[in-house]
Amino acid sequence: MAKPKLNFLQTGAGDGTPVLLVHGYTGDSQSWRLVAPMLAEGRQVLSLDLPCHGTSPLIEPESFSHFVETVAEAITAQGLTSFHLVGHSLGGAVAFALSDLMAGQVKSLCAIAPAGLAPEVDGSFISDYVTATDPKDIKYWLQKIVGTSFPLPEGLAELIAEKRDDPKRIEAQSAIGRMFFPEGVQAIDVTRQMNNVAVPSKIIWGKQDTLIPWHHGLKAPPQTGLHFLAGVGHMPPLEAPQALAQLISEAIAASGQ
């Protein structure tokens, strides 16, 4: 039986090594809409929808390893044999795991406020934001995790609310939250994979992140560049897309590909 394929959103074209962007928990491929165009000169930029997110199938994971394997199978089915990898939050943990599982194919890696480096996480956001369907509630939770001086874009909460029209998808995402972040603790650990990254890599974190503490980034090994963004919270792809694109581009350039 053919395995269900995940959804990929393509930006740009060219012969350069593609960039693969992996969003965070409850996000989707559109989470990168401000960043992707800035990376797309001369190359494809592919933003995927993780299982149970966006328009990808409701493939509920049996474990974090199974979740990552599902993503790896989708990448292979997409025909990506060599790519630069960028992951945000849960997507950062996925990126570290993929760099181990698909070693040799990943040419550079950038993890933005990645999960999986230490136990602390804001459990109330994990449990309550995923089920919020009223724009006012969505805005409340989003405002909690961005930098204190960052104004949420007009209409963002309403756009997210419009996407939350499928109770089965909301429950599937809730189940993922309970599995990966049970009772407000991170059950994911990708520190081994982080320490084994053998390509140009960066960890990028907002200094005002209240969802996953920025000091988790201090676990970065010597070979990994560590960058902290002043005045930025947990959402650099939304809050600081230009700075983020610049740092990602530096990692890509360091790979020579």
Per residue in 71-109, pLDDT tens? 999 999 999 999 999 999 999 999 999 999 999 999 999
Question: In this prediction, what percent of the chain has a pLDDT beyond 70?
Answer: 98
> What per-residue confidence (pLDDT) applies to 126?
95
pLDDT tops 70 at residue 146: yes
| φ/ψ bin of 256: left (φ > 0), alpha (ψ from -120 to 50), beta (otherwise) | left
Residue 220 lies in a domain: yes
The domain that holds 201 is classified in CATH as 3.40.50.1820
Residue 132 lies in a domain: no
Q: Give me the mean pLDDT over the 188-211 stretch.
A: 98
DSSP codes joined into one string, 171-210: HHHHHHHHHHSGGGB-----HHHHHT--S-EEEEEETT-S
Residue 80 lies in a domain: yes
> What per-residue confidence (pLDDT) applies to 2?
53
**pTM over cut 0.95:** yes
Q: Give me the mean pLDDT over the 5-14 stretch.
A: 95
| Residues in Cβ contact with 135 at an 8 Å cutoff, skipping those fewer than 6 apart | 157, 158, 160, 161
pLDDT tops 50 at residue 179: yes
Task: List, for residues 10-61, the tens digit of each pLDDT value.
Answer: 999 999 999 999 999 999 999 999 999 999 999 999 999 999 999 999 998 9
Task: List, for residues 204-226, the tens digit of each pLDDT value.
Answer: 999 999 999 999 999 999 999 99
Residue 240 lies in a domain: yes
Residue 183 lies in a domain: no
Residue 141 lies in a domain: no
Residue 235 lies in a domain: yes
**Could you tell me how many residues make up the chain?**
257
Domain that holds residue 213: 8-121+188-255
Count up the domains in the chain and report the number: 1
Q: What is the CA radius of gyration of the chain?
A: 17
Contact 228, 207 (CB under 8 A): yes
b/e burial code for range 110-143 (CB count within 10 A of at least 16 → b): bbbbbbbbbeebbeebbeebbebeebeebbebbe
> What per-residue confidence (pLDDT) applies to 1?
43
Q: CA 127 to CA 175: how far, in whole Å?
A: 10
Residue 71 lies in a domain: yes
